[in-house]
Amino acid sequence: MEGNFIFTMGSNFQFLLALVRMTFKSAVGQRSALLIRAFFSVITHLIYIPVWYVVFSVAPDLSGWRLEHALYAYGLAISCWGIVSLLAFGLRMIPEQIDHGELDSYLTLPKPVILSAAFSSSKNTGVGEVLFGVCLLIFCGIHYGFSFVPMPFFVLMGSVVFASGILFFATLGFWLKQFIGSAEEIYFNFNLMASRPAPIFTGALKIIALTLVPVSLMSHIPIDFVVHHHWLTLTYAVLGVAAYAVLAVSFFYLGLRFYESGNRFGIKG
């Protein structure tokens, strides 16, 4: 039984790697488009930094949260956005795929459906976003003395949270038609909220930031760890990330039962 489970996990992982390889090849194939979009995405994200300069010029210290924390949080948030766009853009498109009946083709591919749906498309702006986010994190490390060691882990952890969040909200598309516009708005604000100062989130807002829209797991707790080294909090956060991912995937499969397929024919290679 246990051997069977490990075999299935191994097969799924191989399938995942194959999908990621294929998606990445397709993204890299459009070299000029990739470079242009990467350039513009860096410019776009640079614009957002003065927003925090403006906020912190008015209030330099918000209960211990300063400009360097906002920049670190923004670096994390943008890296996660880029990684998800580059590798799992399909998650963002789930509401549109539901509306157009395009999930049908994934149902015929090797299971699990979620892997095919998530990793079958890529957005090449992700390259610029990952580059920008990582550069910002490195800048924070050099200029403000934040440790570099946990950064890759935090980016990975944040990406899982963000991808799960996207999946969770995209799944609402099974019940809400033409949800893609609202869904994009949710993803965008989810990501922006991750860069907002942690001390804002108190009381009920803190509960929301740890459960339904877990931006605290994405940026606030990692930054708290970088400053205070609270291992126990980080351990709980990792458990929280795993639980949220399981919740999102379960919710997706619940929604899949409501999927009214077969309204449009298409072939996916």
Q: Is the CB of 115 or the CB of 169 nearer to other proteins?
A: 169
Which run of H or E residues covers position 243?
helix 231-256
Angle at 111 between CA 106 and CA 112, to 5 degrees: 90
Q: Is the CB of 141 or the CB of 206 nearer to other proteins?
A: 206
Distance CA 214, CA 78 (A): 16
211 binds other proteins (CB under 8 A): no
The span of 17-25, 133-141, 196-204, 216-224 binding other proteins (CB under 8 A) equals: 196-204
39 binds other proteins (CB under 8 A): no
Closest CA to 239 of 224, 222, 217: 217
138 binds other proteins (CB under 8 A): no
38 binds other proteins (CB under 8 A): no
Helix, strand or coil for residue 19? helix
The span of 9-17, 59-67, 130-138, 256-264 binding other proteins (CB under 8 A) equals: 59-67
The span of 101-109, 158-166, 186-194, 220-228 binding other proteins (CB under 8 A) equals: 186-194
Distance CA 234, CA 115 (A): 27
**72 token code pair:** 């670190």
205 binds other proteins (CB under 8 A): yes
The span of 7-15, 42-50, 135-143, 258-266 binding other proteins (CB under 8 A) equals: 42-50
1 binds other proteins (CB under 8 A): no
| Cα dihedral 238→239→241→245 (10° resolution) | 140
**265 token code pair:** 């024919």
Please select the residue that binds other proteins; options are 24, 48, 236, 259, rule is CB under 8 A.
48
HEC per residue, 104-151: HHHHCCCCCHHHHHHHCCCCCHHHHHHHHHHHHHHHHHHHHCCCCCCH
Rule CB under 8 A: which residues touch other proteins? Answer: 37, 40-41, 43-45, 47-48, 50-51, 53-55, 57-63, 96, 123, 125, 172, 175-182, 184-186, 188-189, 193, 196-197, 199-202, 205, 208, 213
